[in-house]
Amino acid sequence: MKVLVTGATGFVGSYLVDRVLSGKHHVVTATRNPHCSSNTENYAIGSIGPASRWQEALRDCDAVVHLAARVHVMNDKMVDSFASYREINVQGTLNLARQAAINGIRRFIYLSSIKVNGDGHSSGSNVHLPGGIEHPYSEADAPAPTDPYGQSKWEAEEGLRCIANSTSLECVIIRPPLIYGPGVRANFLRLMQWVEKGVPLPFDAVDNRRSLVYVGNLTNAIEICLGHPDAARQTFIVSDGNAISTAELIRKLARYLRRPARLLPIPASLLNGCLALLGKRDEANRLLGSLVVDDSHIRNMLGWCPPYSIDQGLMETVNAFRKP
Residues labelled catalytic: 149
96 Cα distance to chain centroid: 20
Helix (H, G, I), strand (E, B) or coil at 68: coil
Q: Select from 314, 212, 313, 310 the least CA-distant residue to 254.
A: 314
Amino acid of residue 46: G
CA 233, CA 220: separation in Å to the nearest integer? 18
The CB density around residue 42, as the number of other CB atoms within 10 Å, is 20
Helix (H, G, I), strand (E, B) or coil at 214: strand
Question: How many Cα neighbours within 13 Å face the side chain of 178?
Answer: 26
36 Cα distance to chain centroid: 23
* Angle 15-58-37 from CA coordinates, rounded to 5°: 40
CA 27, CA 4: separation in Å to the nearest integer? 6
Give me the torsion for CA of 217, 221, 224, 225, rounded to 10°: -170
Residue 38 contacts residue 31 (beta carbons within 8 Å): yes
CA 95, CA 160: separation in Å to the nearest integer? 10
Sign of torsion, CA 94 87 140 5? positive
Residue 28 contacts residue 40 (beta carbons within 8 Å): yes
Q: Which uninterrupted H or E stretch holds 26?
A: strand 26-31
* Angle 159-161-165 from CA coordinates, rounded to 5°: 120
